[in-house]
Chain A
């Protein structure tokens, strides 16, 4: 059985908590906490995606769309209707989960590549809507004037936003890990391994798939809202198909079968795209392709799988 490991979570949480303080004292990296805000936003998506793809075995290339729906829901509810940002965030998440249930019902009956194609198609359609429904979304120009967040009248500046995002990421991490280590998570892994046997053992396979799909879509939406209220403006290109692929690279790099991997992958890919790959400019996408290829060939379990790999190496060689 998977055991609950409190200390690694605690240590990593402390590192993340003190990181801004350390970074502030090192001029070369003093802007890293800002990048970490995006990493945290992406981690919220990848944790859910890892549960869906790594544990349940259901591929989705459409989560960029759920991320976008959350972001636009927040933007539209707040700047067009003047609703409270927190309420908008909540409504966006509920709305996105409902959309996921409607889309997932038929789509999750498909397997493997067909499911990948269906979710990809969904992503493309939503992306087109973001571009074309200019009356609502501002079209290709996007939307501006999205209000920031505040708690009890305190405006959340970048410094505080960092803690909000990573605090939410921590809660999502704990909730998801709890699922994995319980009977619900076992049912998901069973679906991954043999749907027939899972059904025969009383697992409501279609129901479980839809719940996980909706959960991961809801998290993507929440991340989208956090993005919108942080950036205060949006445009559709943030939510294009390439972003969906980038999410895939994050969880593959980190290790698709590990929730930790989702977080590690999100952080690394975020730094790659915001900081380390700037020199490559147009060629950036090639670098990602190369990374994906290298992982698939040399590190199929991803970075989080390295300890296990070393352990098995030693076991194999007596």
Chain B
């Protein structure tokens, strides 16, 4: 019987076995890129809110401190979202008739909460605590980016596990003096690695062996 395949198919077959490796690796890379992309993590995607609340105007423009509104960020796991009463501390008099603030006035009148859309949302099996990070010199802007420049709030980082572990494995490049935690404009000094290492000892930050152990975040 005559040969069905030409001789050259032998080399084509060999090359395609070799090529399959690239295809598999390529597919793997594609999946990894997709799972880290902002399409999946929703990073840098500003959410629509019932009131167009702008950190850019309140923090960047007017210079208010995060703790005026996020009152529990220093003491508890949850940073706290301001109540309607807190908005009304100022908006009882300024922008008091603005249609932009109609939902806030409505909420004050009826007693129903304003329903903000969550921007950050870790899965239920991850434990996170603001107070410890604030107390050990991890600044808001390290995790949340330049909130003072956001007209609508977005999530700056992926919040994926490797992002958390990247810092927990070696916090020195990120740790800043405690009094700078709320400073949005803080930039690491040129000798950050030495400064950071000094602060890690001074603040008695737990060693990476503890901070990267699974039960720190999955408990």
**Mutual binders A and B:** no
